[in-house]
Amino acid sequence: MGPHPPARARCCSFEDYQQTTEWLLSRTSLRPRVAVICGSGLGLLAEPLQNRQSFRYQDIPNFPLSTVQGHEGRLVFGTVKEQPCVFMQGRFHLYEGYSLCKVTFPVRIFKLMGVHTLVVTNASGGICPDFKVGDMMIIKDHVNLPGFAGQHPLSGPNDERFGVRFPCMSDAYSAALRRLALEISGELGCTTFTREGVYCMVSGPNFETVAEARMLQVLGSDSVGMSTVPEVTVAKHCGIRVFGLSLITNKVCMDYSREEKLNHEEVLNISEMRVETVRKLVHELVARCHAPEQGINTH
């Protein structure tokens, strides 16, 4: 064997991405420009779309299946105030046993379809002491803990057809879209529970220990969850600009004397309580986020 280790094979080839894209484009006349990934309990974001057309994940070639309660498992095409878009009702996670190549598979499909903007939503635990359950946190940056440990969606051979080997991530979340979201939040009367902060990804599926939660706070994290960062990384790699929104569904336990124990049902209950507000904000953002060349900078 030579001095270089063999390239680790990727589980998704460019031909897989092309096949899935062609299958979808041949079955819908819509050409989405904005994609939205719905977090836990937030699948209802896709319900009021006009010209709605949906496909079950199990029917789409090469698509993974969502196995988590609160993730429906459908790709929904439609329009929001004439903006053509696609919504993922249900995402994929490392803890389900998927490779990060599979977790991020839909993002590259969106790129090949002509999507220019990705909106990612999630349910997350609040670490920042100022945050309250039910707050909406606009993500300004993230900490990719699995990436630090070698679990990274861009590991392995780089496909130049999507992006460069070493993408810059210092501007992963579009500042222009964050400003627009804050403006919309003001119009909706939501400013009292709209925050900005840093999202930290852990792989899960367990909720954090007290010691882990304290460490994440020291690292500068305002909230923590088990998703989002792989999709954002791949979107940024292939030139899609990103807006991220975390719904704070619980306070992360930072104290050994705290009696109550966190569970997934509680997360879904808070998502249900706030889903209509999140829907209004996301739909208004989708309707108003024109392509970058039409007036909003990519950064």
Could you read off the pLDDT of 181-231 as tens digits, one per residue? 999 999 999 999 999 999 999 999 999 999 999 999 999 999 999 999 999
175 counts as catalytic? no
Nearest alpha carbon to residue 252 among 203, 192, 200: 200
Kindly give, in sequence order, each residue whose CB lies less than 8 Å from that of residue 58, ignoring residues fewer than 6 positions away: 65, 73
Q: How far apart are CA 176 and CA 28, in angstroms?
A: 31
Q: How many CA atoms lie within 13 A of 110 on its CB side?
A: 35
CA torsion angle 270 272 277 279 (round to 10): 130
Instruction: Give yes or no for a contact between 144 and 170, defined as CB atoms under 8 angstroms apart.
Output: no
1 counts as catalytic? no
Of the residues 71, 116, 142, 283, which is catalytic? 71
More confident residue, 151 or 272: 151
93 counts as catalytic? yes
In the prediction, which pLDDT does 166 show?
96
Q: How far apart are CA 198 and CA 190, in angstroms?
A: 20
Instruction: Give the pairing of strands 117-126 and 136-144.
Output: unpaired
Instruction: Give yes or no for a contact between 163 and 249, defined as CB atoms under 8 angstroms apart.
Output: no
Task: State which H helix or E strand residue 287 sits in.
Answer: helix 264-288
Task: State which H helix or E strand residue 88 sits in.
Answer: strand 83-89
Q: How far apart are CA 44 and CA 39, in angstroms?
A: 10
pLDDT band at 10 (very low <50, low <70, confident <90, very high): low
In the prediction, which pLDDT does 151 show?
95
149 counts as catalytic? no
Q: Indicate the angle between helix axes 229-237 and 105-113, nearest 10 degrees.
A: 40
Of the residues 17, 40, 144, 173, which is catalytic? 40
Instruction: Give yes or no for a contact between 36 and 117, defined as CB atoms under 8 angstroms apart.
Output: no
Give the mean model confidence (pLDDT) for residues 19-45: 94
* Whether pTM exceeds 0.85: yes
Q: How far apart are CA 42 and CA 34, in angstroms?
A: 17
Q: How far apart are CA 166 and CA 182, in angstroms?
A: 31
Q: How far apart are CA 197 and CA 137, in angstroms?
A: 6
pLDDT band at 292 (very low <50, low <70, confident <90, very high): confident
213 counts as catalytic? no
In the prediction, which pLDDT does 261 show?
73
Least confident of 19-33, 38-52, 62-76: 62-76
β-pair partners for 55: 75
Of the residues 46, 96, 99, 142, which is catalytic? 96
Of the residues 227, 246, 283, 284, which is catalytic? 227
Kindly give, in sequence order, each residue whose CB lies less than 8 Å from that of residue 143, ignoring residues fewer than 6 positions away: 198, 199, 200, 201, 216, 219, 220, 221
Of the residues 113, 181, 213, 226, which is catalytic? 226
Q: What percent of the chain has pLDDT over 70?
A: 93
In the prediction, which pLDDT does 74 show?
93
Residues in the chain: 299
116 counts as catalytic? no
Q: How far apart are CA 22 and CA 209, in angstroms?
A: 45
Residue 265: phi and psi, rounded to 5, are -60, -40
In the prediction, which pLDDT does 298 show?
46
Residue 264: pLDDT above 80?
A: no
Q: How far apart are CA 145 and CA 231, in angstroms?
A: 14
Residue 6: pLDDT above 70?
A: no
Query: Mind listing the domains of the chain with CATH numbers?
Result: 28-290 (3.40.50.1580)
